[in-house]
Amino acid sequence: MLGIYKRFPGVIALDSVSLEVGRGEVVALCGENGAGKSTLMKILGGVYQPDEGSIQIEGRPVSIEDVTDAMGLGVAFIHQELNVLENLDVASNVFLGREPRTALGLVDNAKIHADTLPLLRRLGLEVSSRTRLDRLSLAQQQMVEIAKALSLNSRLIIMDEPTSSLTLQETDRLLSLVVELRNQGVSVVYISHRLGEVDRIADRVVVLRDGKNAGALERSAISHDRIVGLMVGREIKSFYQESHIPKVPGYFKVRNARSSRYPAATVSFDAARGEILGFAGLVGAGRSEIAKAIVGLDEQGGAEVSIGEERVAIHSARDAIASRIYLVPEDRRSEGLVTPMSVRENITLPSLGRFSSCFLIRRDRERRVAGEQIESLNIKTPGTEARVVNLSGGNQQKVVLAKWLSLDPRVMILDEPTRGIDVGAKAEIYRLMRVLADGGGVILMISSDMEEVLHVSDRIAVMHEGRISGVLERPDCTEENIMNLAVGKPISAAKPAC
């Protein structure tokens, strides 16, 4: 890709960016949110058209007008935001739009399922090819997207944050698969904010900053600090903020919460005022479901909730919001945002009464609050009226956070808060979490990122099959202890949930 320019209303997304990928090479494409990584790859994948610049494959200029052109040239794209149809089964998603036909011209369902099974086995995905997507977890749906790319026998595979929803085991399998593909002569462009993964598999790192090439690192020069230095142009001294504020034990209490997924299991726990309580566990352990039960999004919830001495009755999300208990959901696009609406509208949506006068919305008040949150969270957007759909994934996540931070939370439940977010933005979010906790709030953080859970949490509750299998105090928070509890193995260091 040579001299690629791409402009959107009010912003230059790419400014003369170039990228070269060799046959059988893994190139990690790094940069902060909004740096232009996904935009560049969407041009290569046929989603966007460049305003200027050229693309060559094997030395031959090519024109990629749409996704079909890209696929025909051997380019497959695994998007950060899933592109699956939840009403179809696994095999139908894998071969969507290119279904094999029988002699009579009908879809050959038998062949579709037969061809899907070896792909699922290759990924270690233990589900039936006939399972509907809406019955799978987000991580399993991500693996289906990867299976789709593998089914194309592509020469170049673009992976945009492919492990953001995967467990440690699934991540290890995927990284091994990337190495396998490289050894078979397949080229991979790997976009990830998890720099440990980059260090593990990348032959070369290319860094973008503010829509321009910021530099590149050969294999021998790849290191965490060098990548971060190119990405942000400044030193990030520490991701993690320690707290020295005394905690108030038992401030937030949850008793007998249950979810539709595990109706026979109940969850009870206490969290201290000023505490960040991490929730760890394997995908499918029920962490997200319990979070939804607490805030009234699961009819089976029935949780008894109290804050301080106050008993809080939560029968719906409206009740939770009225009690200043907020959930930042795992899937920001489908559950946390209205993407066609503006940044201003998304930030003020849960509290329009604050911005109304004589039954009319005062947009000047909305703009003032939205502007404050944009500045506080360093949201990269042309302005308050920019449509959220045009922001990068990390900046969309910041908009979700801004929506609730503007409402002075007492309890914040953050489900995968830094999924798909760059290192600089992670540091900002960790700082905000610590500021909220030190200011007297309670933070419940659900995360599949082991490093994040270990370093950010004051204590860690580990879930297994819908129940809390143990709670680890700070000195006992180790990866080994967490993994043992996550698979249901009791350990002496773990304490009961409450």
407 and 284 part of one domain? yes
262 and 361 part of one domain? yes
Tokens of 220: 């021998």
The CATH number for 478's domain is 3.40.50.300
Choosing from 176, 202, 232, the residue where a domain stops is 232
Q: Is residue 107 part of a domain?
A: yes
Q: Is residue 108 part of a domain?
A: yes
Is the Cβ–Cβ distance between 442 and 275 less than 8 Å? Answer: yes
**Which stretches does DSSP call E strand in 219-259?**
248-257
What is this structure's pTM?
Answer: 0.63
Of residues 450 and 341, more confidently modeled: 341
209 and 281 part of one domain? no
220 and 363 part of one domain? no
23 and 61 part of one domain? yes
Alpha-carbon span 422 to 31, nearest angstrom = 7
Structural domain total, the chain: 2
222 and 275 part of one domain? no
Range of the domain at 14: 2-232
Q: Is residue 238 part of a domain?
A: no
Is the Cβ–Cβ distance between 219 and 195 less than 8 Å? Answer: no
Q: Is residue 351 part of a domain?
A: yes
Letter for the amino acid at 50? P
Q: Computed from CA positions of residues 260, 265, 268, 274, in that sequence, does the dihedral angle turn out positive or negative?
A: negative
Q: What would the mean pLDDT of 445-471 be, rounded to a whole number?
A: 90
Least confident of 182-186, 306-310, 450-454: 450-454
176 and 308 part of one domain? no
pLDDT at 240: 55
Tokens of 486: 């996550």
Of residues 221 and 126, more confidently modeled: 221
304 and 419 part of one domain? yes
pLDDT tens per residue across span 118-142 = 989 888 888 999 999 988 877 788 7
Q: Which of 28, 86, 77 is nearest to 331 (CA)?
A: 86
List CB contacts of 315: < 8 A, sequence separation 6 or more: 296
pLDDT tens per residue across span 364-417 = 999 999 999 999 888 889 899 999 988 877 788 889 989 998 898 999 999 988
Q: In Å, what is the CA distance from 167 to each residue of 37, 161, 171, 174? A: 24, 13, 6, 10
Q: Is residue 140 part of a domain?
A: yes
Q: Is residue 363 part of a domain?
A: yes
Q: Is residue 239 part of a domain?
A: no
Least confident of 33-42, 157-166, 342-351: 157-166
